[in-house]
Structure 1
Amino acid sequence: MKTAVITGANRGIGLSLSQQLAAKGWDIIAICRSESEEIEAVAGMVISGIDVTNPDDIEQIKKIIGDQQVDLLVNNAGLLRNEELGNIDYDSLREQFEVNALSPLRVTEALIPNMVEGSKIANITSRMGSMTDNDSGGRYGYRASKAALNAIGKSLAEDLKGKGIAVAQLHPGWVQTRMVDFNGLISPEDSTAGLIDRIEELNLSNTGGFWHTNGEVLPW
């Protein structure tokens, strides 16, 4: 049985990924701030009370997982805030960078020793991190932090290629989750089905790419 570690797994996209991967026979290690009955029902292990921006919590994840093999890491935990030019909260921007960009790197670095040739990393990013695609402005912290995550993911893809580990940056679409007050255009279930397809297609020949859940290659 293959093992997937998923951050932000207690609700939204993380929960849906956990449910659909579990239905495909994966063992799920769910990492989250707080547990939910839904994630407990499908995960083999729930590591709750975790703040992915806290190095001590990352060490706790490492200790709990131990030497268990990780076949898939999904860096899904994220934070979306809005800023208006002229009234920007820079502490909020820093927090978004910590959650959206630095934390996936922290988690990945911690779990690389658990990965083997053929393991995969999926960073749940956003097309809002695309500079080419930005025609509406705003969302300074979210856009910049997701662009940073894309850059980090591309570097990881290059650095881990020699270990046989492939990395993808995946945009889930505008999903009906709490993050956007459920105003999205696509359900978590439909988004997740596409994300899993992209993960299954991921290999060393296409590592480092930036894809929409529907398979479209997105511009940087």
Structure 2
Amino acid sequence: MPTVLITGANRGIGLEFTKQYAADGWKVIATARDPGKADALKAVPGVQVEALEVTDDASVAALAKKLAGTKIDVLLNNAGISGPRGFAIGEWDFKAWEEVLSVNAVAPLRVTQAFLPHVEASEKKQVVFISSRMASITLNGGGSAFYRSSKTALNMAVSCLALEVKDRGITCTVMHPGWVKTDMGGPGADITTNESVSGLRKVIGGLDISKTGKFFNYDGAEFPW
């Protein structure tokens, strides 16, 4: 069966991805900053749980070395934070903004760079990044500048990456999971994690190199940049 590596797998969408892929018989490598506290993740049968701090070079390099020789069909960059919101111009907390950019825009590329050899050695050769509709400049409705800008930066980096690795047969895509009922999305969101991940997995299952560098909704619709 194929292998998937999922970052930020201890809760929300990441945990649901873990449950669904494991239930379908995939080999699942699920990561969390502190596996000792990831009780729900460790309770999923047959899952390999690994420690990973996506913002730390040494942590990422250590896991990549530990998994040397493992073929990763789908590298799923899911870890992310919302950061503080509601700042008006003149009140922006730039340290907080830097943290959001570090986690949401820089860290996924750090992880991807380390695991590209594992992906390239696989059959599917897919790298998926969980982004957001809020990354779209065309669809910008204002507010949440920290989060929006971090996801827009991620999208541009992935667009560049997709062009660079296309000749190696590696597909790179960014995806919007919908407004999901998680700790980040809140209880008033539109859809459940099951609905979101079921849709995302269907889109991922239909990926090929012709779709590299594109921006998809969880229902398969393509978003404007």
**TM-score under structure 2 normalisation?**
0.93
Note the alpha carbon deviations across 1:84-127, whole angstroms, 9 max, x for none.
12211101110011100100000000001112353101100001
**Is residue 74–residue 125 contact of structure 2 (8 Å, CA) maintained in 1?**
yes
Q: In 2, distance between residues paired with 1:214 and 1:176?
A: 16
How far apart are residue 42 of structure 1 and its match? 3.6
- Contact kept, 8 Å, 2:215 with 2:224, in 1: the verdict is yes
Letter in 1 for 2:156: A
Amino acid paired to 2:224: P
Which secondary structure does the structure 1 equivalent of 2:178 belong to?
A: coil
- Give the structure 2 partner of residue 99 of structure 1: 103
CA contact (8 A) 2:203 2:218 kept: yes
Q: Does the residue aligned with 1:109 lie in a helix, a strand or coil?
A: helix
Choose which of 99, 115, 118 in structure 1 pairs with 2:119: 115
RMSD: 1.3
Assess, with a 3 A threshold, how the Cα gap between structure 1 residues 2 and 55 changes in structure 2: closer, same or farther: same
What displacement does 1:15 show? 0.6
Task: Choose which of 128, 131, 135 in structure 1 pairs with 2:134.
Answer: 128
8 Å Cα contact 1:29/1:43 also seen in 2: no
Equivalents in 2 of 1:147, 1:129: separation in Å?
4
Which residue does the alignment assign to 2:77?
75
What's 1:3 paired with?
Answer: 3
How far apart are residue 191 of structure 1 and its match? 0.1
Query: What amino acid maps onto 1:52 in structure 2?
Result: V
In structure 2, do the counterparts of structure 1 residues 38 and 210 end up closer, same or farther at CA, with 3 Å as the change threshold? Answer: same
Q: Within 1, Cα distance between the matches of 2:114 and 2:219?
A: 30
Measured in 2, the distance between the counterparts of 1:179 and 1:120 equals: 26
* Mapped contact 1:28–1:42 kept (Cα < 8 A): no
Displacement of 1:43 after TM fit? 5.0
Instruction: Deviation per CA, 1:157-211: give whole Å up to 9, x if none.
Output: 1111111111110000000001133331110000000000110111111111101
- Worse-matched range after superposition: 24-33 or 188-197: 24-33
Aligned to 2:210: 205
Following superposition, the deviation at residue 63 of structure 1 comes to 2.2
How does 1:5-24 map onto structure 2 within 5 Å?
Answer: 5-24=5-24
The equivalent of 1:33 in structure 2 is 33
**Among residues 178, 185, 200, which one is paired with 2:183 in the alignment?**
178
Deviation readout 1:21-51 (Å, 9 max, x if unpaired): 1112111111111332332224531112x32
Q: Is 1:189–2:194 an aligned residue pair?
A: yes
Matching residue's letter, 1:118:
K
Letter in 2 for 1:126: S
What SS does the aligned partner of 1:150 have?
A: helix
* Distance change in 2, residues 1:83/1:60 (3 Å): farther
1:57 alignment partner in structure 2: 59
Deviation at 1:83, TM superposition (A): 3.9
Q: 1:101/1:43 Cα in 2 relative to 1: closer, same or farther (>3 Å)?
A: farther
Distance 1:75 1:43, change over 3 A: farther
Residues 48-72 of structure 1: CA deviation (Å, up to 9, x unaligned): 2x32111111112112212211110
* Structure 2 residue ranges without an equivalent (≥5): none
